[in-house]
Chains A and B, each alone.
Chain A
């Protein structure tokens, strides 16, 4: 769409084209995002003619909407995660053409899974792969090649003859702008160069490790700053979805968690849908005790972008894995990791929890897993479905739309609404924040402020006192 210039349209006269250009309209997308009256005003073309121009241009570049029988099948291509139980929980494996998120604490196993998948995507289809290649984008960390080598050498399905590091491209994307550049320019170029080279593998997996690192916010951010960040996050989501569907790539994004803080919020009027209430269903996992102490960061804005959210938790449980409980795969891998311990000894193994919070291709489910030398292994038989089909009831009819709410309940003990910072950018507000030109990451004078705050960092107690002051007033 961005590449369709108005000058290339055959349905417009030269006079029309020059008038449009004088008005500042170069591309078809410029026209489509403006109103007839705006176009008419800036180009001095009569409104009726503008309408005809728009219609003709749109017909000329109409996108054919084909019957399904004339389209190549999409959405059935999937590759294994290396663990059959996990594959089955995920609806058959990792499907391409979708946006997957793996969210969890550090050391829960997110990077392990990403590394593992970068290897498994390379396998031939008879072993569960798609003969693809991977592109691994790191934000703040390094690519853990040593760990990847360990997985490659220990997992029974993988072998150095089938998978290699040559099939995993790596780029560092330390800033939001860099990531947007890679997603909008570098990757499409890489993919088309790849397609023209018949001997190279198709790109089938993109990993971003980890998106939250780009959006760490500090206490002194302004609402405008957060609005800006939030918009960039949406832009990133759109670029990822375009890449995923256009080239049938599985996009895997790693995200971080923050502590869940349970605050009392104002009671809701009938018909209102509470943010805090809803967040616990799509932002947290709660299949076992303690799992909901952490919640996904980046708020509703980011959650809306995802097709699948997989939540990894440490949970702090340890178990001795009994003979009857685990298959040989775990036994072998556990002894591989604890090679210093004699075969007779049994060490308790850290059991972690994996929950599919929501997914467009499978039902929410949970299981236990361990992280071993060969990567992530689900404990056989531990998978539980969290829901079958949703059972739905009707709310008592609310009547007319609720635009004016009558207050009830005690509002004197009100706490500030607790929102993920980035959701502020997407607030439906009567005083709509009109966009300006996108603000650069560093405005002039920002560096000075940064330096000032470094030197004069306020102690934590100041913020506490300020909070106390506002509450008691």
Chain B
């Protein structure tokens, strides 16, 4: 059983974030401090810090209301149709984790995301599917489920909408936790990088703040509600000097491609970044960070 604070089910995620920011990584770190010291350090009431310490000491265990069967099904990791992807993820994508799939145009990122959606639907779980740049239409989804065992159910289990702009995305993010319920297993954001292009003049500090908000909501949804989140992302160019340091156009020696948003929005310790790299028109590689 992990002693990592972030995986502790009885501490609310906002508290976890606060503790982590103050430098507390594991429960052992907490046990060495007192309620008074903690309250001074975090700037919170002493009663709050006391409840944090008692909460952290409660042995983490499954909530009594969950049935054993649902526990078992909820703890599995998910294998998609592509063996190489499963291998890259160490067997499969664990539930309650975040997966970012990036790649150049023409790589099969959207197909892969849809494959995971199929798995959740076949397990009778609800999927929320957000499409931002017309890559996955309702017709494409229909075609995907045509040969699936869940062909009859997908229309009831998959919720779908378009959004294109950054304010639309942030509105969705703010409302995400109230949109999901016990039966929601998967959120697909296809692609998450596109809405950031609608406001290209936004300052980078504001952009980072928005990415941090997404991080916060993703962490809460995945840790507390066991929501699995899959995002697809376009790529951007990065210029590197000969020694590997970031360069600019005048000095840049080689141009590489990186996922557009950076890692700010991905909760550490529960995220995977999968890059699809075509090597020819028919084959490619997955790289996982």
Residues of chain A within 8 A (CB-CB) of B46 are none
Check B138 against A427 for contact (C-beta < 8 Å). Answer: no
CA distance A64 to B258 in the complex (A): 33
Q: List 11 A-B contacts (CB under 8 A).
A: A1-B168, A34-B206, A67-B159, A231-B201, A232-B200, A273-B256, A275-B237, A281-B278, A309-B105, A397-B288, A398-B289
Contacts of B53 in A (CB 8 A): none
Mark the stretch among B25-33, B36-44, B150-158 that contacts chain A: B150-158
CB of B270, distance to nearest CB on chain A (Å) = 16
Could you say which of B106, B175, B237, B260 contacts A357, with CB atoms under 8 Å apart?
B106
Q: Hey, which bits of chain A sit against chain B, CB under 8 A? A: 1-2, 28-29, 32-35, 38, 54-55, 58-59, 61-69, 71, 73-76, 95, 97-99, 223, 230-232, 234-235, 237-238, 241-242, 244-246, 265-266, 268-269, 271-276, 278, 281-282, 300, 303-307, 309, 357-358, 360-361, 364, 386-388, 390-395, 397-398, 401, 404-407, 411, 414-419, 423-424, 426-432, 434-438
A191–B185 CA distance with the chains assembled, in angstroms: 38
**Which one of A278, A393, A397, A430 has the greatest number of beta carbons of chain B within 10 Å?**
A278
Partner of B257, one of A67, A69, A273, A393: A273
Closest residue to A433 on the B side, CB-wise?
Answer: B204
Taking A268-B256, A278-B104 as contacts, is the C-beta distance between A32 and B155 under 8 angstroms?
A: no
**Contact between A390 and B197, CB atoms less than 8 A apart:** no
**Within the assembled complex, what's the spacing in Å between the Cα atoms of A75 and B143?**
11
Assuming A235-B197, A265-B254, A304-B235, is B108 touching A407 (CB within 8 A)? no
Chain A residues positioned under 8 Å from B242 (CB to CB):
266, 407, 411, 414
When distances are taken between beta carbons in the complex, the residues of chain B under 8 Å from A418 are 255
CA of A68 to CA of B137 in the docked complex: distance in angstroms?
Answer: 11
| Chain B 173-199 residues near chain A, CB threshold 8 A | 174-175, 178-179, 194, 197-199
Partner of A75, one of B128, B138, B158, B262: B138
Q: Contact: B178 with A59, CB < 8 Å?
A: yes
Q: CB distance B110 to A360 under 8 Å?
A: yes
4 new A-B contacts, CB < 8 A, other than A38-B206, A423-B237, are A237-B133, A241-B133, A274-B257, A405-B240
- Say yes or no for B79: interface residue by CB 8 A criterion: no
Chain B minimum-CB-distance residue to A69: B155
How many B residues touch A, CB cutoff 8 Å? 96
Contact A395 B165 (CB under 8 A): no
Q: Which 4 residue pairs across A and B have the least CB separation, nearest first? A: A75-B137, A405-B244, A75-B139, A358-B106
Given known contacts A1-B168, A282-B106, is B255 in contact with A274 (CB within 8 Å)? yes
When distances are taken between beta carbons in the complex, the residues of chain A under 8 Å from B238 are: 427-429
Q: How far is the CA of A430 from the CA of B289 in the complex (A)?
A: 20
Known contacts A65-B179, A392-B85: A58-B174 contact under CB 8 Å: yes
